[in-house]
């Protein structure tokens, strides 16, 4: 029989993502509604180790749903990789009677939660807060929709000057290990080529296509590349293309951390609120050490360990769509 969870901690860890505040708000207010005590842990696992923990009330999360970033802040924590660090974190939770933990973050955050849950009597629930959408077991991750829309708005603006000057533009978006932002923003902005880590890029085909378009005087071309593409990002792609198309005007725009910020979209606010609510419901129902996701618009629960071991997969249909629509 699982121990009843009466006091919960909530933290945000890893890279920040728009919508994290909405998830925090949902966890706090759902927990309080059910008579739980809820504690906010500052700066992720680092704050847990340093005892930077505060009790939260309903008013603690007022007027935050529209804000990007995270009011609990976030940090990378090397000390949590060590048993001594995790033991210290556990002691800080234990002295407050906290026996449930909601972790809002990505793959690395979940790895820490899996290890922590295996070693100590703390029930852990994972909510995917990452703009990369690279977590297995959910159609959505908090922050992805906002990041894609931010990229689309920036690319639309760049396309105006690209058209005016007959240029090739290479836009680099975030995605060290996952190409979802590049894929979605590229399709939505009519990119001729989309380069992602999950697919091998045939650079010769791109060069030949651009040379053929140059002969037809179609000089405007948009290439969207994820930062983790095999060639090393937009600047490296520019060097290769410039060597093969010396007459072409080729420009690079790296969108960078602008994609992490900003007010979350309606979709990100809704899924964050829904996931935060169900994370607390899971603890109440005795579903411990699980990942809360949404599949086909229904709540989907899998062991947290499974979410860590598996990766989201970009299907071949997406790349077929890219090829046909860009022709």
By annotation, the residues acting in catalysis are: 132
Assess contact for 110 and 101: CB atoms under 8 A: no
CA distance 154 to 43: 30
**Per-residue b/e over 169-196, b at no fewer than 16 CB within 10 Å?**
bbbbbbbeebbbbbbbbbbebebbbbbb
121: closest CA among 161, 85, 93, 159?
A: 93
Q: Is the C-alpha dihedral spanning 26, 32, 37, 42 positive or negative?
A: positive
212: closest CA among 192, 226, 189, 196?
A: 192
CA distance 323 to 129: 30
Interacting residues of 192 by C-beta distance below 8 A, sequence separation 6+: 209, 221, 222, 223, 326
Tell me the longest C-alpha to C-alpha distance in the chain: 73
Q: How many CB atoms lie within 10 A of CB 35?
A: 8
Assess contact for 278 and 31: CB atoms under 8 A: no
* 311 DSSP 8-state letter: B
């Amino acid at each position: 029989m699982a121990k009843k969870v009466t006091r919960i901690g909530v933290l945000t860890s890893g890279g920040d993502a728009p919508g994290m505040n909405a998830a925090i708000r949902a966890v706090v207010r759902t927990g309080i509604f059910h008579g739980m005590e809820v504690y906010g842990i500052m700066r992720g696992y680092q704050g847990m180790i340093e005892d930077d923990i505060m009790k939260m009330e309903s008013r603690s999360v007022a007027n935050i749903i529209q804000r990007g970033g995270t009011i609990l802040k976030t940090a990378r924590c090397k000390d949590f990789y060590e048993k001594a660090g995790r033991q210290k974190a556990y002691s800080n939770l234990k002295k407050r009677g906290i026996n449930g933990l909601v972790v809002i973050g990505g793959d690395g955050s979940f790895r820490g939660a899996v290890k922590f849950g295996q070693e100590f009597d703390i029930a852990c629930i994972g909510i995917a807060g990452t703009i990369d959408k690279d977590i297995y077991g959910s159609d959505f991750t908090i922050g992805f929709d906002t990041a894609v829309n931010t990229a689309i708005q920036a690319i639309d603006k760049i396309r105006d000057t690209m058209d005016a000057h007959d240029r090739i533009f290479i836009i680099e978006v975030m995605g060290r290990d996952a190409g979802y932002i590049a894929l979605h923003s590229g399709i939505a902005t009519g990119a001729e080529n989309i380069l992602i880590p999950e697919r091998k890029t045939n650079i010769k085909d791109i060069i030949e296509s651009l040379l053929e378009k140059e002969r037809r005087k179609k000089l405007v071309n948009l290439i969207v590349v994820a930062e983790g593409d095999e060639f090393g990002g937009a600047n490296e792609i520019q060097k290769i293309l410039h060597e093969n198309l010396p007459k072409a005007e080729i420009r690079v725009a790296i969108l960078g951390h602008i994609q992490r910020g900003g007010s979350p979209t309606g979709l990100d606010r809704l899924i964050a609120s829904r996931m935060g609510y169900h994370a607390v419901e899971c603890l109440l129902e005795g579903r411990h050490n699980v990942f809360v996701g949404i599949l086909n618009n229904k709540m989907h629960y899998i062991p947290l360990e499974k979410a860590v071991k598996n990766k989201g997969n970009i299907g071949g249909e997406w790349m077929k769509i890219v090829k046909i629509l860009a022709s």
